[in-house]
Amino acid sequence: MRRTPRLVLAAVLLALATACTGDPAPTTPASGSEGPYLRGSGTLRVLAGSELADLRPILDEARDATGVTVQLTEIGTLDGIERVATGAAARDHDAIWFSSNRYLELHPDAADKIGVDAKVANSPVVLGLRASTAQRLGWDRNRPTWSEIATAAGAGEFTYGMTSPATSNSGYSALVGVAAALAGTGRALTTDEITALTPRLQSFFTGHALTSGSSGWLADAYVHRQTAGVPLDGLINYESVLLSLNAGGRLSEPLTVIYPADGVVTADYPLTLLAGAAEQARTNHAAIADFLRRPSTQAKIMEQTHRRPAITGVSLTGTFGPADGGLVELPFPTRYEVANTLVSSFGDALRKPARTIYLLDLSGSMRGSRLEGLQSALLGLSGADTSLSGELTRFNGREQVILVPFSTTVAQPRRFDVPSDDPKPTLDRIRDDVRGLSANGDTAIYDALARGLELARELDAAEPGRFTSVVLLTDGERTVGRSLDSFRSMHAGLPATIRSVPVFTLLFGEGNVGEMTEIATLTGGRTFDARTGSLAAVFKEIRGYQ
Amino acid sequence: MMRPRNMVIVVTVLALLGAVVGYLLAGSDPATVRGVVGTEKATFFADPRVREAFEKHGLRLEIEARGSREMATADALAGHDFGFPASAQAAGPVARARPASGTYEPFGSPLAVATFTSIVDLLAQEGAARRGGAGHWVLDLAAYLDLAGRDLRWDQIAGNVAYPARRDVLVTTTHPSYSGSAAGYAWLAATHLGPDGLDRVAKLFTDQGGLERSTGDPFERYLTQGLNFAPLVLAYEAQYIGAAAAGTLPDGATLMYLSPTLLSTHTVVAFTERGDEVGELLTTDPTLRSLAAEHGYRTGTAADFATVLDRLAGAGTSLPAQLPEAAPPPDPVAFEAMLTALDQRLRQ
């Protein structure tokens, strides 16, 4: 009976605790009923996909509950895979967190690099169409198959935005899903099947009118296009992104979420410890995983980010579909070769070909290491970078690459049309051209921008139907030529299709951050920070947006 | 709803009180024991009653969950007092990766397929499913392998309105190189298909699409997504019974036993004295043994398991008390050789 007094005291304390919790809503169990939080300390350094950024408020709560600060470093899917596979990720990070590990797990060198994981949520990749477009196609009433979606897109019935399969998981999942559904075998894809599917996948990608390296930016760009008067009909993205857009109050017309009748590929957000993580990191990972997978947190993740719960006992709210019928899970490739072939065929054969205009500052200040950095970045895209990410972000077959060097004046553009068969001679010519670049003179930024967009207009008139985008690299302020104001009025006078050509600006050297940001905002592009880190990495990252 | 700040205060108060209560109950600080266990046992070790039972013996468990074969590396086992893979076959590689101070076999669970009654009806119609003696469902391995070998799709089964998906009739498994359940399933298929059948065994995995690394994951998706995730999910009987007891099974859920099936002997591989204590307690402590039975594991005490089955039968789920048609335990050398050959085929 030694324990009796203690038990009574314990019971009293528990009763007090219960009294403190007040009267929580029955659907959200009080955290107290889920047992004490696991504790850690310090920081959990996580290499993460950009789409996880919306979980920051939840991670702030996790810090208060567990004592662990989760530090997210954003990285694209392929770069992330490569850093894990080479072991580089484990040198400065404890864990990885992408929307899925499926591609990573196929990498032959990745298997022994990853440790325990905790699945945090679910979200299928689906199609969202403006309500009026969905009605016109009858898809608000009858769920189409991917095959019907591909046919309608090929017939010009609708346009959509989708992220690049080479840099973002939502685009990759969409590609896997549509390819598996079109193959219609009922089994995971094989390499031979991909070749046979090419014409039908090309038809599907006819409607692809906006690309992006990340899911979050795609949603922003969709809103920008709507405001700029060149709206798209829809988006292919995570259900969570589409539902968040609908809830966000930025859309002039809500998106109808369309769940393809033959299935989807679902992201499961595994927070994954890297092999060899330190003792403290393991403890921190366990504490964060425990916090994220509690019913009360899962309910919050569902309410705030529109992702589906990963655990049982949290009921789905009404916004999740489909209203009737099932949501079949389509098979993901089981072989690394198949996964890679899908991405490389996307670039070389399936996608709408790109027209990429590079405006390159060759003023005097670029001389030396900056010019070398630029040359090495462009050489990498022309085939010198043989890493996985280099391989899958190089200039593609059918792509039109235009280099426009500028300093005091704007030089004659050099245009390279990369053929799909035997691209090597053309890539070699690009490399020769890049090696011959030299720096001298002033900085006519806005003359170059105006020339770049005029060029886009001429080329688009001659050959429409390409993805046209502009990259602007400068390391300093405008010193001669047209001003920003003058460029702004020139831009306002362009036809809507050219006004919506995105300009991707690099923050580099002593470049004017404010002006670079303004150009990006004006044109619906975005800025990329190349002030620290290598130009090559940023040029590869931009490839996802071209 | 409480405001977040109030919630934080309440939670902090609760955590403090919890610590005080824990101290008062235990009388002294328990020692921390770290173990890596197959994910299928994560729910068992997370059960507050299980934790309490260990704390009574002065042990506080810190558990990491991962695939039973995936855990068999020096790095994965470092810093742990014990490993607890899902089978005796998986325990061998664990003990080879790190020298064991003792091994314990506290309980077992046969391989089974978590599914839905509407799906079982379709398989019965195709001659691959039938009722067993105790009223439970049985998946005839030979007939099933025949269906899979013909690449039959669900939408090709006549009159199928339950799941008319354009997907092959295939059991969804984990990766056999990382997970004990998939390795056991591969062994059963390889035994039936014979020495020339390994390509067909490999196809059972490659045709599925992406494979998870541990049995807890697909089963959790079976629970949360139901038929949307997959119609047939390889699992341990214990996972199903545990979910049935917790009331978390999806609508229309049922269990099919593979025939023949394989009994997985969940094996504690201890590396330290405290690890040995855990193995010892799981094998001998009556409270832990009856909790293991409640979580669906077959312990040496038939009465414990019978009570659990009775309760389930009362709730409409009839499962057999006697283990249905189990294949003999595989020879460890042949088993590893088969897995190595299979792994090569899966990585081609």
| Predicted pLDDT at A167 | 85
With bands split at pLDDT 50, 70 and 90, how would you rate the model's confidence at A29?
very low
pLDDT of residue A366: 96
pLDDT of residue B19: 54
* pLDDT score of B8: 53
CATH number assigned to the domain covering A353-544: 3.40.50.410
- Mean pLDDT, residues A171-177: 95
For residue B11, give the chain A residue with the closest CA. A32
Q: What is the pLDDT of residues B226-274, one digit of tens each?
A: 999 999 999 999 999 999 988 999 999 999 999 999 999 999 999 999 9
A266 vs B contacts (CB less than 8 Å): 225
pLDDT of res. A3: 41
Percent of chain A with pLDDT over 90: 83
Flag if A17 and B346 touch (Cβ within 8 Å): no
| Average of per-residue pLDDT across B100-115 | 96
Per-residue pLDDT, B322: 86
Superfamily of domain A43-120+269-306: Periplasmic binding protein-like II (3.40.190.10)
Q: What's the gap in Å between the CA of B96 and the closest CA on chain A?
A: 17
The answer to which of A62-66, B64-68, B321-325 has the lowest mean pLDDT is B321-325
Angle at the Cα of B175 from the Cα atoms of B172 and B181, rounded to 5 degrees: 75
Q: Can you list the pairs that A371-374 forms with residues at least 24 positions away whose Cβ atoms lie under 8 Å?
A: A371/A437, A371/A438, A371/A439, A373/A534, A373/A535, A373/A536, A374/A437, A374/A473, A374/A535
DSSP string, A218-279: HHHHHHHHHHTT---SEEEEEHHHHHHHHHTT--SSPEEEE--TT-B-EE--EEEEETT--H
The per-residue pLDDT for range A462-479, each reduced to its tens digit, is: 999 899 999 999 999 999
What value does the mean pLDDT of chain A take?
A: 91
Contact residues on chain A for B167, CB-CB shorter than 8 A:
186-187, 263, 328, 330-331
Chain B's closest residue to A184, CA to CA, is B166
Angstrom distance (rounded) from CA B95 to CA B72: 8
Give the whole-number percent of chain B exceeding pLDDT 90. Answer: 80
**Beta carbons within 10 angstroms of residue B142's beta carbon:** 11
Residue of chain B whose Cα is closest to the Cα of A27? B1
The pLDDT assigned to A19 comes to 37
With 70 as the cut, is the pLDDT of residue A13 above it?
no
> What are A366-423's pLDDT values in tens digits?
999 999 999 999 999 999 999 888 888 999 999 999 999 999 999 999 999 999 999 9
- Lowest mean pLDDT across A3-7, A422-426, B10-14: A3-7
**Residue range A131-153, pLDDT digits in tens:** 999 999 999 999 999 999 999 99
B5 pLDDT band, cuts 50/70/90, is low
Token pair 């899962």 is at which residue? Answer: A298
Enumerate the domain spans of chain A: 43-120+269-306, 123-267, 353-544
CA distance B14 to chain A (A): 6
Query: Cα–chain-centroid distance for residue B255?
Result: 13
Q: What's the predicted TM-score (pTM) here?
A: 0.88
Residues of A in contact with B248 (CB under 8 A): 312-313
Q: What is the arithmetic mean of pLDDT over A266-294?
A: 96
Mutate to test the interface with B, among A178, A327, A329 (most CBs of B within 10 A): A329
Which of B230, B347, B348 is the closest to A329 by Cβ? Answer: B230
Percent of chain A having pLDDT more than 70?
A: 94
| CA-based nearest distance B164→chain A, Å | 9
Query: From the CB of residue B170, how many other CB atoms can be counted at a distance below 10 Å?
Result: 25
Q: Which amino acid is at A526?
A: R
Is A20 a residue whose pLDDT tops 60? no
Looking at domain A123-267, its CATH class is alpha beta
pLDDT in the model for residue B323: 78
8 A C-beta contact, residue A102 and residue A169? no
Probe site for chain A from B5, B12, B21 (most A CB atoms < 10 A)? B21
Query: What is the per-residue pLDDT for A18?
Result: 39
Closest C-alpha to A389, from A102, A110, A88, A76:
A76
CB distance from B310 to chain A under 8 Å?
A: no
Find the residue in B nearest to A173 (Cα): B210
Do A43-120+269-306 and A123-267 come out as alike in CATH topology? yes
**pLDDT digits over B151-210, tens only?**
999 999 999 999 999 999 999 999 999 999 999 999 999 999 998 999 999 999 999 998
Residues A226-270: tens digit of each pLDDT: 988 899 999 999 999 999 999 999 999 999 999 999 999 999 999
pLDDT of residue A9: 43
What is the average pLDDT value for chain B, to the nearest integer? Answer: 91
Whether residues A21 and B18 touch (CB distance < 8 A) is answered with no
Residues of chain B positioned with their CB less than 8 A from the CB of A331:
167, 207-210
Residue A198: both structure tokens together: 């090419």
What's the whole-number mean pLDDT along residues B60-66? Answer: 93
Choice between A95 and B347, residue whose per-residue pLDDT is larger: A95
Instruction: Give B 193-212 residues with CB within 8 A of chain A.
Output: 205-211
Give the closest-approach CA distance of A49 to chain B in angstroms: 20
Q: Which pLDDT value is given to residue A392?
A: 85
Interface contact flag, A310 B220, Cβ < 8 Å: yes
B112: left (phi over 0), alpha (psi -120 to 50) or beta: beta
Rounded-to-integer distance, Cα A465 and Cα A355, Å: 10
Report the distance separating Cα B292 and Cα B298, nearest Å: 8
Interface with chain A: mutation pick from B5, B12, B13, B17, highest number of A CBs within 10 Å: B17
At residue A79, the pLDDT reads 83
Q: From the centroid of its chain, how far is CA A314? A: 28
> Given the DSSP bridges, would you call strands A266-267 and B233-236 parallel, antiparallel or unpaired?
unpaired
Give CA–CA dist B118/B255, Å, rounded: 12
Q: Closest-CA residue in chain A for B155?
A: A186
Q: Which residues of B touch A6 (CB under 8 A)?
A: 24-25, 27
Look at residue B294 and tell me whether its pLDDT is greater than 60. Answer: yes
